[in-house]
Chains A and B, each alone.
Chain A
Amino acid sequence: MGSKIMTKSPVPQNPMPAERLLELDDVHVHFPLREGLVKAVNGVSYHVDKGEVLGIVGESGSGKSITARAIMRLLPKRAAPPTGSIRFRPRTGEDFELSGLDRNSRAIRQVRGRHIGMIFQEPMTALSPVHTIGTQIMRTVQLHMGLGKVAARARAIDLLAKVQMPRPAQMVDAYPHQLSGGMRQRAMIALAISCDPSLLIADEPTTALDVTTEAQILELLKSLQSELGMAIIFITHNFGVVADIADRVSVMYLGRIVETASVDDIFYAPKHPYTQALLRSIPRLGVDQGRRLPTIPGMVPDPFSVPEGCAFNPRCGHAVAGLCEVRVPPEKRFGAQMSRCHIADQFVQEPANV
């Protein structure tokens, strides 16, 4: 246990359960802008257990990426200092209070390089255009795993083989621009998993890919996850993808998690009207929804005018006057399912796709 990486926790907390890898508690990230205050992340709590895949879905602007960047301490400069607690315990056993770490601290750089890998929609945000992919992987493993040059190169080739890069022994010397989109995505994954991280944060990693390449990358991530025992936070707005890869799913709306449940409960027994409405609006194969898709009335409000009470209330068909526009719904729990809706207990196994 490297005591120098432990930081003083602002609030005394109960110990994390043994299976816990990451725990966010009431995390806030606000942007004080000229036009007003944007509460991009407005009290987010979730956890990830060792080796599981947590899917995060939600429409653009709901705060998925900013939450991920709060974990990595890589928030945009304009953000106010985030609040809330983020605890992380990689498989090496140290306890990190990420919420107490500065974006440039030694400890967070160690966490980023060694324990948490990150992949993005656009591979070039993670890869340097002026170095070969081999050089980039070698640097990381030399720095964080203390490997020598020869061992590092061998590991780079191994990793490229692991992500099913064709001809890894040659591709190790390729520059990113020489690769196709799918191959670049594989190179970025190889870099992200190079030090055997306990957690991989994947922010829309397949959104820009072609359907068949997307399917290949999903298969790859699933096999790496089971082979390496790595947990994944998979951020996407594609419900097909999340149904395919996630064990549990959290749904975000306007800076809050409105529902978290097992992937089956999210799809077959959602207990939040927003989840239910979203699922109804997706056309599904073999399900005749008639000519019109059921839609959610109105649009996502702009971040400066988030409604009082339950932020979904102006668009919600179940809203209870005098309650929903006044009080923020608490997190209601039903076993492993959580719904932030005042009337969540009324949704008994409501199938979303009828």
Chain B
Amino acid sequence: MSDLPATSLSLPDDVLFSVRGLKKYFPIHEGWLKKHVGDVKAIDDVSLDIRKGETLGLVGESGSGKSTVARLMLRAYSLTDGQILFRRANGEIVDLSGLTDRQMRPLRAEMQMIFQDPYSSLNPRMTLLELVGEPMLIHGKGNDGEIRDRVAELLKVVGLRPEFINRYPHAFSGGQRQRIGIARALALNPSFIAADEAVSALDVSVAAQNINLLQDLQEQFGLTYLFITHDLGMVEHISDRVGVMYLGRLMEVAPTEALFSKPLHPYTEALMAAVPQPDPRGNRARKRVPLKGEIANAANPPSGCSFHPRCPYAQPKCSAEVPALRTVDGGRQVRCHFAEELSLVGAIA
């Protein structure tokens, strides 16, 4: 790509995306002079690798920064700081962090996003042909006939009847609209899809069908997923590894089973204890301690470990020093001063 800055970047062979030292501050302006009085530190030093073909789950309370991470990776937002390395389909490694919109354009085909709300994310005045075909039109991929054929094929791939091609989204159920969004995301053969609460609004049986579809597509097209959700059962089912976010920081990253059976971060433990499971006996047996208070204000985060005001294990050191994201115990990462000393309880035995 001649108009991309020449780079000599490298990534381990199995890594598709590598985020390093990512920061995103949203400025706060006040008064009639719109004076800059501070920043919402939405993302504050996140580093993360996503491996080719894996599903990385991202969990955390509302406002912890999950969606912002995804938007930054897809460069829907500019960065305040950090590096985003991406391995292109042609093998080239690019740093997305400084690219202009024009430079990003050819890369957008390779990374797509699907959203929670299948109602508001589809233009109601466009037919399925227009909705699913639009990305191809924009990127100049094919003439009318080719686009129509490809859309029909994509509808089949996501389990919708190709005869629906001239219908409008309102004629479809929530689960089907989600599939229209998935077909649209697949149109340009991406290698990476960020799914932001993609099945959270769906009824359980429809969510199960669509989760199966996402897994089939992953197998069929070798897709890599970033899967954002607050549903711990779902994230355990679909993810290879899981990252836990709190107040703009990654608190822990671990292989799924390890995370759920032996969390290393007190926030992970608290999150697991708070969420009721579809298992009345288990809920009764588990001591369910709801996490006290609310997530702190990202404009004025607590000193030291940002979780310390809510952490039952906090020590004096915790409010004084920011813990680093450290690698411990066979490749797991955790951001807690006392990770090795604490013996925390997971959600599964």
Q: Give me the interface of A with B, judged by CB distance under 8 Å.
A: 59-60, 180, 182, 210-213, 215-216, 218-219, 237, 239-241, 243-245, 263-264, 267-268, 277-279, 281-286, 289, 291-296, 299-300
Minimum Cβ distance to chain B for residue A89 (Å) = 29
Minimum Cβ distance to chain B for residue A293 (Å) = 4
The 5 A-B residue pairs whose C-beta atoms are closest, nearest first, are: A286-B348, A283-B237, A244-B276, A281-B208, A210-B62
Taking a contact as CB atoms closer than 8 A, the residue among B61, B174, B278 that contacts A243 in the complex is: B278
Asked if A240 and B208 sit within 8 Å, CB to CB, the answer is no
Asked if B208 and A285 sit within 8 Å, CB to CB, the answer is no
Chain A residues in 8 Å Cβ range of B142: none
Asked if A243 and B271 sit within 8 Å, CB to CB, the answer is no
- Cα distance, A264 to B203, chains bound together (Å): 22
Q: Does B234 contact A (CB under 8 A)?
A: yes
Chain B residues in 8 Å Cβ range of A212: 61, 270-271, 274, 290-291, 294-295
- Cα distance, A291 to B290, chains bound together (Å): 31
Asked if B61 and A283 sit within 8 Å, CB to CB, the answer is no
Q: Give me the interface of B with A, judged by CB distance under 8 Å.
A: 61-63, 173-175, 203-209, 211-212, 215, 230, 232-234, 236-238, 260, 270-271, 274-281, 283, 288, 290-291, 294-295, 347-349
Asked if A210 and B61 sit within 8 Å, CB to CB, the answer is yes
Given A243-B280, A286-B349, A291-B215, answer yes or no on A210-B205 (Cβ-Cβ < 8 Å). Answer: no
Given A59-B205, A286-B348, answer yes or no on A213-B233 (Cβ-Cβ < 8 Å). Answer: no
- Cα distance, A237 to B207, chains bound together (Å): 12
Asked if B274 and A282 sit within 8 Å, CB to CB, the answer is no
- Cα distance, A210 to B211, chains bound together (Å): 22
Minimum Cβ distance to chain A for residue B261 (Å) = 8
Taking a contact as CB atoms closer than 8 A, the residue among B206, B234, B288, B348 that contacts A215 in the complex is: B288
Asked if A281 and B205 sit within 8 Å, CB to CB, the answer is yes
- Cα distance, A219 to B215, chains bound together (Å): 35
- Cα distance, A293 to B63, chains bound together (Å): 30
27 contacts between A and B (CB under 8 A): A59-B204, A180-B294, A210-B62, A210-B230, A211-B61, A211-B230, A212-B271, A212-B290, A212-B294, A215-B275, A216-B290, A218-B276, A244-B283, A263-B280, A268-B281, A277-B205, A278-B204, A282-B204, A283-B211, A283-B233, A283-B236, A284-B277, A284-B278, A285-B233, A289-B237, A292-B215, A294-B208
Taking a contact as CB atoms closer than 8 A, the residue among A182, A239, A241, A295 that contacts B212 in the complex is: A295
Minimum Cβ distance to chain B for residue A156 (Å) = 23
Asked if B274 and A215 sit within 8 Å, CB to CB, the answer is yes
How many inter-chain contacts with C-beta < 8 Å in the A-B complex? 124
Asked if B175 and A299 sit within 8 Å, CB to CB, the answer is yes
- Cα distance, A215 to B63, chains bound together (Å): 17
Minimum Cβ distance to chain B for residue A282 (Å) = 5
Q: Which of A59, A212, A243, A245 has the most CB of B within 10 A?
A: A212
Minimum Cβ distance to chain B for residue A249 (Å) = 9
- Cα distance, A238 to B198, chains bound together (Å): 16
Nearest residue, chain A, Cβ from B230? A211
Taking a contact as CB atoms closer than 8 A, the residue among B215, B278, B295, B347 that contacts A267 in the complex is: B278
Asked if A283 and B234 sit within 8 Å, CB to CB, the answer is yes
Asked if A285 and B290 sit within 8 Å, CB to CB, the answer is no
Asked if A295 and B205 sit within 8 Å, CB to CB, the answer is yes
Chain A residues in 8 Å Cβ range of B175: 299
Taking a contact as CB atoms closer than 8 A, the residue among A245, A289, A296 that contacts B205 in the complex is: A296
Q: Which of A60, A211, A218, A245 has the most CB of B within 10 A?
A: A211
Chain A residues in 8 Å Cβ range of B278: 239-240, 243, 267, 279, 282, 284
Q: Which of B206, B207, B279 has the most CB of A within 10 A?
A: B279
Taking a contact as CB atoms closer than 8 A, the residue among B61, B204, B347 that contacts A239 in the complex is: B204
- Cα distance, A165 to B308, chains bound together (Å): 22
